[in-house]
Chain A
Amino acid sequence: MKNWFLRGLTAGIRTEPLTEGAVSAALSPGLPKTTEHTGTQRAEMLAAACPNEAIRAVEAVAEVDEDRCVLCMRCKGRDGQTWRRDVAWAHPNADSQGPLEPRFRRSLHVRIIDAGDCGSCLNELAQMNGPAYNLHRLGIFITPTPRQADVLLVVGPATRQMQDALVSAYEAMPEPKRVVAVGVCAASGGIFGPSLMSAAGVAAIIPVDLVVPGCPPPPHAIIDALRLVCGQTARPVPR
């Protein structure tokens, strides 16, 4: 027992500084950015190559819908497509209630719901709680029950057989509450939905306040979203 204690102590602090700015490829895969190309043909080629209709060609501009990008990496480095390296990916949903009241700023409890996730978003969530990102220092905690949760963090496209459980969990939460959809599947259904067994994202089932795109979004981007929800940071609404 004593050994474990010493091991923990001698490991030192390994936590990354908080950031919403540019990070390396080791920490985040990045996202494609709306890019103005030199000709319509290039933009159209990129739009045609996108497997999930995340890129739309508007004349010479390749317009990127981040909520649809599954990070297939096929447009990366191709034909001058630019890439965003920051991690401020979270954006409010259309009918967002905005951040929680100030008293949640230093104590936020989050219940994670897996509504059909492939495992990579869940793994990034596990990392978020590990020494490298250390969610606890921000006063944000993962709780095992929705009855004690202020935020429902949903991953996955809301599969048909998980929808009842998702609604029950949402209804079991006390007010005030917020829902954060994490990952492209939760944002729009991603590569899986809308289809026979997957919804067009979580917003089709329960009201969503904040959306974090990405496949999967890196821990920094998810932490950024949680900080936005509890009012630790604020950003002008980008769109």
Chain B
Amino acid sequence: MTGFLLRRTLNYIVLLLLASFLTFSLASLTFNPLDSLEQRNPRPPQSVIDAKAEQLHLDEPIPQRYLSWLGGVVQGDFGTTLAGQPVSEELGRRVAVSLRLLILGSVIGTVLGVLIGAASAIRQYKFSDYFATVVSLLIISTPIFLLATLLKYGALQINTATGTQVFLYTGETSATQVVGLWDQFVDRAQHLVLPTLALVLGAAAGYSRYQRNAMLDVLQSDFIRTARAKGLSRNRALYKHGLRTALIPMATLFAYSLGGLITGATFVEKIFGWHGVGEWFVDGINAQDLYIVVTVATFAGLVVLVSGLLSDIVLALLDPRVRVS
């Protein structure tokens, strides 16, 4: 058992290393970190540029640079940004911000999606199902940044109509200082409402469709019929036996889509001005900052792998047929 687990973890590590190496090489090849320096007017003396180049190890071959970066990573040092800040600190900060942004929205969105999807399947062909399907399809077809922009627009209208700032939608907290624990909490909440709403809508729409299909499959099953034959009412049988069983395929989906969460976060961060991981890496690419990009890439890869493992675990939890004896 441990042998197998070790092999699987080893495989994951190899994949992760390969992926980060690939990103590292590509970024190194295409980025020119000296750009910002060279573009300055007047152009700094060559010695300054050369010094910077040496500082960034630009003369060394790529594999060597990668290995030295890797060496640092093992000790917790993810390199330094072009501006000279240690990447690891910034990473921690940014991840925390992204988490604060995402957690509430995705959890609520998922739960809502599951419930709506299940209810839709049970009420198949009725108006509520039809309505939910149309709305979900519409939301899914709208890119999340468009959705977010529309929400901002709506918030603006409400704010002007009521004359107060009910919705605050720039940044995580207000620019001006807010004192008092309660006021700080309210301030954060006000800033959180819109992005959370955007995430909830997107997640709920997506999950509800998958859940609906999973439910529809399960509803045809024989064991639902057995439950009804025992005397459970139709709805009780469908919810108690059907939903619980239909959650199983959803577990796989949920775990695998953790990866897509980061990408989705990027847009929300950009629109609402939160300084999370997504915004960081977009800025990093634009600034051609190698270590930021590679670190985020590795982080993203790690998330994908962890979510893969998580999906296996969740599957085992939900499906007794799959548990290791």
Q: Do A and B come from one complex?
A: no
Which B positions have Cβ atoms within 8 angstroms of A? none
